[in-house]
Amino acid sequence: MIVSTDDFNDKDWLNFKKKLKKDIGDTAYKNWLKQLEFLSFESETLSLSVPTKFLRDWIVNHYSDKIKIHSQKFNKNIKILKIVVKPVGGRILHGTARTVKPDQNKFNQTYDIRNNQYVNSSEEFGAPLDPRFDFENFVVGKPNELAFAAAQRVAEADKVSFNPLFLYGGVGLGKTHLMHAIGWKIKNKSPDRKVVYLSAEKFMYQFVRALRYKDTSAFKEQFRSIDVLMIDDVQFISGKDNTQEEFFHTFNALVEQNRQIVISADQSPSDLDGVQERLKSRLGCGLVADIHPTTYELRLGILMEKAKKRGVEIPPKVLEFLSHRIISNVREMEGALNRLVAHATLVGTTITVETAQEVLQDLIRTNNKRITIEEIQKKVAEHYNIRLTDMHSSRRSRSVARPRQVAMYLAKSITSRSLPEIGRKFGGRDHTTVMHAVKKIEELKVQDPNFHEDIELLKRLIDC
Ligand code: ADP
Ligand code: MG
């Protein structure tokens, strides 16, 4: 029977299901297709529903061809198959679906038979990869070189070399970035390999949902058909026994099939509290790579890279200042950079150490500790690369005398010491010498903007 109208009625539906059942066999039918329900047929689109997202994905992946062939026997105008998730007792009711716009249900997903692909796959069970996170824009330094090398190895290797790769480190140190980078690299190299990235939280959420809809077999199948599984922030499952159980089994099944697993956490496997011992030991049996807190050099490198990406000119002194003063994590540093750029664009000012100090006041902890003249001398000597003893010596060459004057000036403006007190700390100099130094530096600041910046930078480095 071939009809060419927009007709596909309940009787067609029953016959269609019978044909499907005959084709795929009783067991598979019972497991996968029995719960399919007919919703509507309109403008070349046959809409069906299932109670869960897992079932929907499974059917789309495994049975869309068969559904296509059989449904077209009833109506050759069927071009698009849409499978809507309709939870049991949920909003979309049989017979009223014609009035429900597809977009109203976020679980809707359309499989276009003509192109053999999802039309909208944003609700896939993994999470999308962030295009900003690739290996090229990951800055490597001592603290992250092992993690970086291991991630690259996993992404480039054709065979599984260590399983799992376990990356751990504090917040904002690049774990997620590296995982996405692995994902991109593998996708580019071997588009056929199924790479799934998701947070441990999402893993748990999906598992709980599957339990609720008694659909755990489809849940399991989905994970087990993956080539590379990456689970981020696995510390989330601590104390959640059912999820750990399921995770453990999924993990084992994948390892047995020689599929690559990448895990991240904020602790090493053995330090994960609230995680079952057997899972801990499983997690630690591949390569465990830690990412250490950033160093000044790495922070500076990252900031330079981020500023370059953004295409904004930021004076090196400002970048140095940020790398010195924002040490907690890279995410915060990036946030600071964004704020600075936004401020400069909005207000139309150039970015200087001073504006940075102003705009980022809350990020840069002001420390009330009393600063000593000795500390100032030390910082200034380091900055100008002279010996500390030259702060007290009687040498008069410009290369030494100028830094000494700078230190005197800073001692005057940062501390509450009197001129004679300052003089004494500089090899017993007279208070007029200090006064002269302060005046000289103030003049130079006015004459030379670079010098001005330099002094401001020093001031802020000391004043922390
Ligand atoms: P984590 O997952 O460890 O908390 P993320 O990977 O989310 O940290 O990193 C936080 C931000 O810092 C991201 O924007 C990331 O691009 C950036 N970042 C961290 N480390 C680096 C690095 N070495 N090079 C470039 N960007 C980095
Ligand atoms: Mg992360």
- Are β-strands 80-85 and 45-50 bridged in parallel, bridged antiparallel, or unpaired? parallel
- Residue 254 pLDDT > 50: yes
Beta carbon of 331 within 6 Å of any ligand 1 atom: yes
- SS3 letters for 112-164? ECCCCEECCCCCCCCCCCCCCCCCCCCCCCHHHHHHHHHHHHHHHCCCCCCCC
Does the domain spanning 10-106 belong to CATH 2.60.320.10?
Answer: no
Of the two residues 130 and 214, the one the predictor is more confident about is: 130
Residue 326: per-residue pLDDT: 84
> For residue 419, what are its two tokens?
């001129």
**Topology, domain 373-462:** Chromosomal Replication Initiator Protein Dnaa; Chain: A; (1.10.1750)
Ligand 1 pocket test, candidate residues 137, 331, 337, 338, most atoms within 8 A of CB:
331
78 CA to centre of ligand 2 in angstroms: 44
Per-residue pLDDT, 94:
34
| Every domain of the chain and the residues it spans | 10-106, 135-291, 296-359, 373-462
The CB of 173 under 6 Å from ligand 1? The reply is yes
Q: Using a 6 Å cutoff on CB, does residue 411 contact ligand 1?
A: no
Span 296-359 CATH architecture: Orthogonal Bundle (1.10)
Count CA atoms within 13 Å of residue 343 on its CB side.
17
- Burial label for 99, CB within 10 Å (0-12, 13-18, 19+), is exposed
pLDDT digits (tens, 9 = 90+) for 378-423: 999 998 999 999 999 998 899 999 999 999 999 988 887 889 999 9
CA of 180 to the centre of ligand 1 (A): 11
Cα–Cα distance for residue pair 462/206, rounded to 1 Å: 51
Q: Using the mean position of ligand 1's atoms as its centre, give its distance from the Cα of residue 359 in Å.
A: 23
SS3 79: coil
**Which ligand ends up closest to the CA of 143?**
1
Cis peptide before 87 (omega within 30 of 0): no
What global pTM score does this model have?
0.61
19 Cβ below 6 A of ligand 1: no
Residue 81: closest CA among 121, 130, 114, 127: 114
Q: Which of 129, 168, 173, 337 to mutate to test the pocket of ligand 1 (most atoms within 8 A of CB)?
A: 173
- Name the helix (H) or strand (E) containing 262: strand 260-265
Ligand number with the minimum distance to the CA of 234 = 2
Q: How confident is the model at residue 116 (pLDDT cuts 50, 70, 90)?
A: very low
Find out whether the beta carbon of 144 lies less than 6 Å from any atom of ligand 1.
Answer: yes
pLDDT in tens, 2-51: 444 557 777 788 888 888 888 888 877 877 788 888 888 877 788 888 87
Closest-approaching ligand to the CA atom of 291: 1
Right CATH for 135-291 from 3.30.10.20, 3.40.50.300, 3.30.930.10, 3.40.50.1860: 3.40.50.300
Write the DSSP assignment of 363-416 as a string of letters: TS----PPPPHHHHHHHHHHHHT--GGGGTS----HHHHHHHHHHHHHHHHHS-
Residue 172 Cα to ligand 2 middle (Å): 7
What is the dihedral sign for C-alpha 179, 180, 183, 185? negative
CA distance 151 to 157: 10
| H/E element, 41 | strand 37-42
